[in-house]
């Protein structure tokens, strides 16, 4: 593939020159990172948690027709375990795995089931554990929920620009929430330092030197969502999948799941970042991870990340077909379009990061070169990952003009 950089109104695209050949299999190296056994284990355990059910995969035929494509799918994570985000699958699963391992150390290697842990049988062990992380909002909420559900202590760090609504949503699950100065990456480093000082365990979705097993558990947890999509599509792959980047944990999990399942028939893989927090876009151009500094200002709060996760990069550096950045205005417009559907398309409540896929489609639709660069046309069947609902109801109402309840009424 020849590298190509395109800059348009609120959109930039970079085609990946080292993207693997379409016939390349998932590979031994990648399978050592995210593997089918890990996805199997996460699916088995999470499907047994209280309140588990598959989230909806919406079809939007009228919007697809307006955009000039064959089909448009939206995986709606706004109902996931009541946390309104796919993140519920990852952080909480990693907390569960930590607790399993702690119990096993004291009970001859026995890995307890969710039901055994929830029964309180091992409360004497679990109550002494403390988990922590830094968050833009959704991951911390998942870790806090998992800690509350399974019975351990939780301390969450948020950075300067995390909204008060997102802080309160984390505290709702019993976590101690501490705000620190700086951006998201600064809060990540602070959480790691405090954990080392206090003997706590960091539950992060990003890897760094000497720390990878827990983020891999997080990514395997995310795979539950991708496997649901495979079943909901009746094993018929879309032609394109649009996935939010952030540190890359979600994108790597989706990429790995689809690559393992569909091989050469897997969809064209496009990742999306805010234009001022584009660590993958910058990294792709030089072929290795690049740190983006500054305040990383964007309304897409969950994507305000300046450093890629090294383990995610190892999968995505050859799994991505196209890197994309997006201006805030398109993400916000995507929220409004989903809330005000065409004809009998479903009404969808999407937060600022959940609407990025549609935002990219709308931006590209106004730019013929961008549309063609993405390989979109009348036969395209596009999957969008609706990663969150109204995780901050105040911001949602400001953008859409109505509450989520009013939209869905």
Active-site residue (options: 136, 217, 390, 392): 136
Closest CA to 363 of 332, 330, 338: 330
| CA-CA-CA-CA torsion sign (11, 14, 262, 27) | negative
Q: CB neighbours (10 Å) of residue 147?
A: 29
Is 87 catalytic? The answer is yes
Q: How far is CA 400 from CA 71, 331, 333, in A?
A: 25, 12, 9
DSSP state for residue 162 in the 8-state scheme: S
Is 124 catalytic? The answer is no
Contact criterion met (CB below 8 Å) for 255 and 19: no
Token digits for 164? 């008060």
Closest CA to 271 of 328, 325, 205, 339: 325
Active-site residue (options: 87, 261, 268, 317): 87
Helix axes 164-171, 393-400, angle to 10 degrees: 140
Closest CA to 126 of 106, 141, 156: 106
Dist. CA 292–CA 276, nearest whole Å: 9
Active-site residue set: 87, 136
């Amino acid at each position: 593939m020849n590298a190509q950089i395109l800059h348009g109104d609120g959109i930039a695209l970079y085609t990946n020159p080292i993207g693997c050949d379409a016939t390349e299999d998932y590979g031994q190296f990648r399978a050592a990172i995210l593997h089918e056994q890990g996805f199997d284990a996460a699916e088995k355990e999470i499907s047994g948690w209280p309140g588990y059910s598959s989230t909806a995969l919406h079809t939007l035929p009228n919007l697809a027709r307006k955009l000039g494509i064959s089909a448009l799918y939206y995986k709606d994570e706004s109902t996931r375990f009541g946390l309104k985000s796919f993140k519920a699958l990852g952080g909480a699963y990693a907390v569960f795995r930590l607790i399993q391992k702690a119990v096993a150390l004291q009970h001859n290697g026995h890995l307890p089931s969710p039901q055994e842990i929830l029964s309180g049988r091992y409360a004497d062990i679990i109550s002494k554990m403390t988990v922590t992380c830094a968050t833009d909002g959704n991951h911390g909420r998942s870790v806090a929920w998992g800690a509350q559900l399974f019975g351990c202590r939780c301390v969450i760090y948020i950075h300067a620009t995390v909204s008060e609504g997102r802080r309160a949503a984390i505290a709702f699950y019993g976590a101690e929430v501490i705000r620190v100065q700086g951006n998201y990456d600064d809060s990540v480093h602070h959480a790691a330092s405090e954990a080392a000082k206090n003997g706590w365990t960091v539950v992060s979705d990003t890897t760094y030197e000497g720390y990878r097993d827990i983020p891999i558990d997080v990514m395997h947890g995310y795979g539950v969502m991708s496997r649901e999509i495979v079943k909901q599509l009746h094993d018929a792959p879309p032609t394109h999948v649009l996935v939010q980047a952030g540190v890359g944990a979600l994108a790597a999990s989706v990429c790995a799941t689809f690559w393992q399942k569909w091989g050469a028939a897997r969809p064209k893989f496009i990742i999306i970042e805010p234009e001022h927090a584009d660590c993958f876009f910058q990294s792709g151009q030089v072929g290795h991870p690049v740190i983006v500094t500054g305040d990383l200002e964007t309304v897409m709060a969950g994507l305000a990340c300046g450093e890629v996760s090294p383990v995610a990069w190892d999968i995505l550096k050859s799994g991505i077909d196209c890197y994309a950045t997006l201006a805030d205005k398109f993400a916000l417009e995507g929220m409004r379009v989903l809330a005000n559907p065409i004809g009998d398309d479903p009404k969808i409540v999407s937060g600022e990061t959940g609407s990025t896929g549609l935002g990219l489609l709308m931006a590209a639709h106004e730019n013929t070169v961008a549309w063609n660069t993405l390989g979109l046309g009348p036969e395209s069947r596009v999957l969008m990952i609706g990663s969150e609902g109204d995780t901050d109801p105040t911001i949602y109402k400001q953008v859409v003009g109505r509450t989520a309840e009013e939209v869905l009424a």
